[in-house]
Structure 1
Amino acid sequence: MKQHRNVLISAIATVTVILAVLISSFLVLKDSNGGNEQQADLSSMTSEYAAFSGGTWTYGGGLPEGEDSIALIRGPYISLPAGTYTAHVSYSSTETDAIKLFSAAAPDSIVSSNVRLEPYLNGFDFDFELKEDISDLEFALIYTGGEVTLDGITVRMNNNNARRIVMTVDLLLTAGLIIFLLRGIISKDIKGALVILGTALLISVPLVFPELSHGHDLNFHAVRIEGIAQELEYGQFPVRMSSLWMGGYGYPVSIYYGDILLYFPAILRIFGFSINASYKIYLLAVNIMTSAVSYVCFKKIFSDFRITVITTLLYCTAAFRFVDCYVRTTAGEIAALGILPLIALAVYRIYRDDPGNSGYMTNSILLAAGMSGLILTHLITTELVVFILVITVLIMFRKTFRKKTLLCLVTAVFWSVLFTLSFTVPFFHYSSSVETYIQAWMKYDSGRNIQQVGASLYELIRFWGNWFGMGNDSSTRMSLTPGPLLLAGIILAIALMIIRKGNRKIYMLTGLSLLTLFLSSNLFPWDLLEALPMGETLVAIQFPWRYLGISIILLTLLAGEASDVLFRNNAKAAIPVTVAVTAAAVAISAVFTIHYRSEAYRSHFYDTHSLVIGNLEDAEYLMTGTDKSTLTYEPVIDSGTVEMTGREGTYMRIRTVTDKRASVSVPVFAYPNYEITGGGEITKGENNMITFEVPEGDNITEIRYKAPAFYRIAEAVSAISVAAAAVYCVRRSKISREGSV
């Protein structure tokens, strides 16, 4: 009876979550205005410099001497009740200007950020929020140079608040359902649940600040998230081509970068959360995932609660992990670090378990799950892990070449291939058919000299100083150390080896840890390695100190093994060491948070146009031959007239009128998979723009990005493979439980 009741409760909870998702989806699709559109009276705005004529403000006189920017036009001081709003601004500019919202009476009531008036646009929507009623909402045009016109501003209330509420309820229900389904496991290990929760909170303290550290890569990853959100709203799933980049030219960032976890913050954006809020919730989720995965995996590796607590805290509060999360703001790499303990567990079980056990082959799926997670989040980390795994299987060659173990490893590779086909098939398709700047860089350029940007020996042991530095100068750049606790762990391991208490695992992990620290440094001969066969591939990691991410998992395992030996020889040391590590981890979090508050350059990004979306950073995957400085943003025809009459994401509708056959170019990069109707075959034109021919007359041409059939087949194979592996694991688990009764 009790079992049936639990099943009924689970079903009700599941249905509730599903209904919440359906209601949320309805609210997203039903973009109700929530009120009438209000047209701002431009004539009531003021300016010391610009002229108002014909309903438009115009200025092109340049900046006053000594000024970098000025508030050129201000007003019109609109009265609005509290709520969430969408404004539309119409303009033209030759430089990147901005719009900023003000209220003299209630300056803290406006939740927004400066929106960029890019030269390649002539108008766009942006969202903002008012926490209370105001009577003097001011739009200020921040002028930076060139010529600018302000043609119109409209404001309407949107339903973002309602969407956020529904999504928040949905998230809480989903979290409740997960806890309910795991109640049996949680009830058996309440202390473990508290460790996971406490660790997650400990590494998430910087998220309490209103702003978010701008970091090194925040803009890039935020635009990735915005691109996914936009294309999902346009109906593209999974997202392959993002039309947001480069003012609509498009960029296949989702083909070259694994982004499976970025769908979560993208969905939050669709449901009305700001960019900052969405990214913060994403980081919180990653921190919870990292804490949970670390605790569960280290518990299975060490089978000792005290060592599990120590290793969980050591790994999650490692200095380099704090840097990755809040200084470098690496959305993919920080998620990959959360997966590394799973790979460690898989390797431990493959070499520790008896190959004769009936469930031994499930370890292949465990390893495949970890490797697939890396591939789908961060390819460079995958490359680093594969390198260390190859060394590991060679060191353990006696066990590696046991028939069942070798079969397990080969099967893990097989499962990994199947699980990730949905990503690797498009990736290899583009890699083989499109020459990008990063490919040209790897093929033709030499002398990359990445060795000089490796961490110095001093930096590896320096856990004080500047956490938030920039550049490659070792005296001013960010902190590059595993952290004091992990360094103390390697000292303990060496001490145990000196007194001949070290076991095989300690020796092996010490060697691998020192190797990865060496690889991360400027002492390793990276420049010499580049000249060797395949050397250009190995130096593609760009920064040797990326190996610190691998170092921290190895150093954590080493600390765990050293603690195990220490506690076996001195049981009384267990509690003091655990308490000391816990206190030190809290201190590290506090010290980092203090530095975060005083040193970090923090920003508040509210909506899409507060980001730099017209730039591709280093443009690694831009097609060679493209000159970003000469891009045009209107369609071009060599005879007649052309007009883009419709644009929605990767879909374009173009009208041409010509008295003879003509060539047309549209401002979209000609990557593979674009389809055309009503025009000739797509070719690459000037600056790799999509170019096609149209016959004489009045023509309508439609262009859209469409994933080919073999992409869909790959996606289906991946989905079926994941489902099959899950069913197999569940059945093996059931058989194991029945066998143990």
Structure 2
Amino acid sequence: MNEQKTMNKANEWPARRRLLFPYLIFAILAAVSLFGALRIDGRLFFGDDLNFHLGRIEGLAQSLGQGDWLPKINYFITGGMGYATGIFYPDFFLYPAALLRIGGLSLVQSYSLYLYLVSLATFVIAYQSFLQLRPTQRTGACLFAVVYGLSTYRLTDVLYRAALGEVLAFMVFPLILVGGYQVVCGDQNRWFWLTAGMTGLFYGHLLSTLIACLFLALFCLRNVGNLIRAPRRLWSLAKAAGCTLLLTMAGWAPMVEQLVYQKLRVAEEPIFYLSHTAESLEEYWAGAVSNLRYNNLGIWVFVVLVVSLMLYWRLDTFNRQLAELGTVFLFLATNLFPHHLFDGTFFNVLQFPWRYFLLVSLCFSWVVADGLLKLFSKPMYRRSFFLVLSLWLLGSSLQMQLQMRASDTRLVPYESFEQMSGEYETGSGREFLPAGMESWMTPTTLISEPEEAAAVSQMSRENNIFSLSYETSEPVRLIFPVLLYKGYMVSGTGTYSKVRNAGTYKGTSMHGFAEVEVNGRGELTLWYQGTWIQKISLGISLLTGIGLLVWWRKADFEERLQ
């Protein structure tokens, strides 16, 4: 009996080793595709959005270190005035980076290790997502993970643009692809994959959520016959959408509340227009050839597109549809599409039409792994195709990193990032500052009007809490160095007003800052408490998540019993 157990264990080990081998490859590829450009001789490549996301991580780490586990206001960004990144840029996926920072790593080290973990997760999620639809095709799953994880536009987002939101979107998009297929064409009872993907996408990158909705709308339109013939699919789609709205309520409800409360810059004239930022197909091709550009799609996508169209009728239905959708979104990214017709519409919030490259990369990565790979009749040919394409993409990644190493003007010493003040980390758009805001204050400044009528003493600031004593001979306005968002509260003794917009000071605009009017003698404390909508929406999202988890575990157990 013991000998039989020993033999069984000996036979299990090779099988387990084969199962673990892909993850080892993913771990190596995630490292090789990143660290040549991320950590170069004590310098970091200055990606377009790098300072903003480093500021988000640093601000979140500071809040966590002070015991604020769900911060809505980032007091590192804007040099202490407080920017509502926790409301308009959900921090859910940033907690690992912030915890690494708290654990003693430098800001650059935390960011670099975090990007590696996100890249590794991208490979793994892509691999497992493919297996959800093709459980016996591990070679195809490996190829999809490698092609998708090494896709040129994803690496451009990671390395050149430092577009962390889109990087996170890349991580979860395979779940949306699989979930959408299950609801529309497969097992509609597995709609929860779509909910998981859309929820993760919302908390990773809001703009990509809009792109995903457009993708799902076109996919449903392409398969409208399935939805008509099986109304239960529509019910599953409704359940996925409803649960997603409840799970993401903790994010979108506070956003809506702030946008209703006051006008923000995002509501003014857009900074970017799709019609201005769209480029020609020739320009995108030139960027792919140079392999060093902010919207680098990669030569491989153009090659796969042409091959897919040439072999269109040899592909199965799903891969034909993905080839079509990939081509459509590539077209939408170009100036061939009349973007000027949408300059004044909601679609313009996407800013750059080449964001659609995320979907182009996703669609053609799947077509390569599931469609083109199956056209090879012999396993040897499939392995050769796998190897050649993987080496091509890895080589392209290394070439990109070597070119980045030659960009001396974009390589910045680590120490520079550790010494960031936070004042200029809001990014180029500053979309969620109060509209019309013109002034800038230091974090310890307190302005009073009229000055001669107020005696302010014992003023202190601890984290986001301002405390002071005052004595006035007439009503006095106290203007605090914090940006006004709904949720600031004031308490104390004496006579004081609610928190309101400062307006002007001696003819100078102080619009967008918090103001409290006091009179007489007393003490005052101002802090950000949050709102009831923030608390209620968080509770609804948490309860929905717990309920779905219990339901999913129960359904999975019952399925195993059958």
TM-score calculated relative to the size of structure 1: 0.68
Aligned residue in 2 for 1:168: none
Say whether residues 1:395 and 2:212 are aligned partners. Answer: no
Aligned residue in 1 for 2:321: 508
Aligned residue in 2 for 1:493: 308
Which residue, 325, 339, 346 being the options, matches 1:537? 346
Q: Which has the higher strand share?
A: 1
Say whether residues 1:199 and 2:29 are aligned partners. Answer: yes
Aligned residue in 2 for 1:116: none
Alignment of 1:444-593 (within 5 A): 449-462=273-286, 466-468=290-292, 478-497=293-312, 500-530=313-343, 535-567=344-376, 569=377, 573-593=381-401
SS for the counterpart of 1:487 is helix
SS for the counterpart of 1:462 is helix
Letter in 1 for 2:305: I
Say whether residues 1:727 and 2:557 are aligned partners. Answer: no
TM-score calculated relative to the size of structure 2: 0.88
Letter in 2 for 1:275: L
Letter in 2 for 1:538: F
Aligned residue in 1 for 2:524: 701
Task: Provide, for residues 287-315 of structure 1, a one-character-per-residue CA deviation record: whole Å limited to 9, x for no partner.
Answer: 11101001111233334222222221211
Q: Structure 2: how far apart are the matches of 1:510 and 1:373?
A: 25
Structure 1 position 604, deviation (Å): 3.5
Aligned residue in 1 for 2:5: none
SS for the counterpart of 1:441 is coil
Letter in 2 for 1:683: R
- Residues 564 and 622 of structure 1: is their aligned pair in 2 closer, same or farther, counting only changes over 3 Å? same
Aligned residue in 2 for 1:690: 514
- Residues 519 and 186 of structure 1: is their aligned pair in 2 closer, same or farther, counting only changes over 3 Å? farther
Letter in 2 for 1:648: E
* Preserved contact between residue 464 and residue 527 of structure 2 (Cα < 8 Å): yes
* Preserved contact between residue 225 and residue 266 of structure 1 (Cα < 8 Å): yes
- Residues 595 and 458 of structure 1: is their aligned pair in 2 closer, same or farther, counting only changes over 3 Å? same
Structure 1 position 632, deviation (Å): 9.0
| Gapped regions of structure 2 (runs ≥ 5) | 1-12, 505-509
Aligned residue in 2 for 1:645: 459
Q: Structure 1: how far apart are the matches of 2:302 and 2:551?
A: 41
Alignment of 1:145-294 (within 5 A): 189-206=19-36, 207-209=38-40, 210-294=42-126
Task: Provide, for residues 591-627 of structure 1, a one-character-per-residue CA deviation record: whole Å limited to 9, x for no partner.
Answer: 1221232226222344876225213332211111210
Task: Provide, for residues 151-175 of structure 1, a one-character-per-residue CA deviation record: whole Å limited to 9, x for no partner.
Answer: xxxxxxxxxxxxxxxxxxxxxxxxx
Q: CA RMSD in A?
A: 2.5
Structure 1 position 513, deviation (Å): 0.7
Q: Structure 2: how far apart are the matches of 1:260 and 1:728?
A: 23
Aligned residue in 2 for 1:138: none
Letter in 1 for 2:446: P
Q: Structure 2: how far apart are the matches of 1:275 and 1:607?
A: 11
Higher-Rg member (1/2)? 1
- Residues 623 and 644 of structure 1: is their aligned pair in 2 closer, same or farther, counting only changes over 3 Å? farther
Letter in 2 for 1:723: I
Q: Structure 2: how far apart are the matches of 1:185 and 1:208?
A: 37
Indicate the structure whose relative CO is greater, using CA pairs within 8 Å and at least 6 residues apart.
2
Q: Structure 2: how far apart are the matches of 1:464 and 1:711?
A: 44
Structure 1 position 184, deviation (Å): 13
Aligned residue in 2 for 1:347: 180
Aligned residue in 2 for 1:97: none
Alignment of 1:290-305 (within 5 A): 290-302=122-134, 303-305=136-138
Structure 1 position 374, deviation (Å): 0.8
Say whether residues 1:710 and 2:533 are aligned partners. Answer: yes
- Residues 283 and 184 of structure 1: is their aligned pair in 2 closer, same or farther, counting only changes over 3 Å? farther
Structure 1 position 631, deviation (Å): 7.8
Q: Structure 2: how far apart are the matches of 1:185 and 1:693?
A: 73
Which residue, 259, 263, 267 being the options, matches 1:439? 267
Structure 1 position 441, deviation (Å): 2.0
SS for the counterpart of 2:204 is coil
Structure 1 position 194, deviation (Å): 2.9
Q: Structure 2: how far apart are the matches of 1:307 and 1:230?
A: 43
- Residues 466 and 220 of structure 1: is their aligned pair in 2 closer, same or farther, counting only changes over 3 Å? farther
* Preserved contact between residue 76 and residue 421 of structure 2 (Cα < 8 Å): no
- Residues 185 and 259 of structure 1: is their aligned pair in 2 closer, same or farther, counting only changes over 3 Å? farther
Structure 1 position 407, deviation (Å): 1.0
Structure 1 position 487, deviation (Å): 2.5
| Gapped regions of structure 1 (runs ≥ 5) | 1-182, 355-359, 469-477
Q: Which deviates further from its counterpart, 398-407 or 278-287?
A: 398-407
Q: Structure 2: how far apart are the matches of 1:185 and 1:245?
A: 50
* Preserved contact between residue 662 and residue 693 of structure 1 (Cα < 8 Å): yes
Aligned residue in 2 for 1:24: none
Structure 1 position 219, deviation (Å): 0.5
Structure 1 position 564, deviation (Å): 4.4
* Preserved contact between residue 266 and residue 432 of structure 2 (Cα < 8 Å): yes
- Residues 459 and 480 of structure 1: is their aligned pair in 2 closer, same or farther, counting only changes over 3 Å? farther
Structure 1 position 457, deviation (Å): 1.1
Q: Structure 1: how far apart are the matches of 2:16 and 2:214?
A: 36
Q: Structure 2: how far apart are the matches of 1:431 and 1:184?
A: 57
SS for the counterpart of 2:514 is strand
